[in-house]
Amino acid sequence: MLKFVLAICLFGILAESIQGLYLQNYHRSLSICPDERNPGKLVAQEHVTKVLWNGIRVRIPEEGLLENTISCVLVTDQGSSGSTPVITQGGVGSNYVEILIAADLISGLNYNIEVYVNEPTTSSAATTLSTPGK
């Protein structure tokens, strides 16, 4: 009887440890931002959710290209999903980004997506020349 009780206690401790490791490792986000202090101009901010068994595929912009190149992509897990966001096309240095967040078999998906672009630089090449005496 004592062996049975010890086995149950050991099983409970082991199960709790595994659950703790599982929850610790399953809060997944993606941050590709070469200059985190100056990410650029925010041009897209989306909150996306899906229920069990469904993945998420997001393209920013939905069609065409952004006017400026992307400087930073942040995909933040708002829950505790087991999925890892992946950029499948475009991204930093490109004029669009496509993000895939695979389906999570245990919980739904709940993510914030932010895309920043490089701000256009003003060119000093367009200066006005003046001719003296005119």
The residues with which 31 forms a beta bridge, in sequence order, are 74
List pLDDT tens digits, range 5-37. Answer: 545 544 444 434 333 334 444 458 889 999 989
| CA dist list (Å): 115 to 8, 17, 18, 45, 97 | 50, 37, 35, 7, 9
User: What φ, ψ does residue 27 adopt, rounded to 5°?
Assistant: -120, 95
Q: Which secondary structure element, helix H or strand E, spans residue 53, and what is its range?
A: none
* Model confidence, pTM: 0.68
Q: Spell out where 51-107 has E strands.
A: 56-60, 70-77, 86-90, 97-101
CA 126 to chain centre: 39
Query: What is the tens place of the pLDDT at every residue in 67-121?
Result: 999 999 999 998 877 788 999 999 999 999 999 998 877 778 889 999 999 987 6
The rounded distance, in Å, linking the Cα atoms of 57 and 75 is: 12
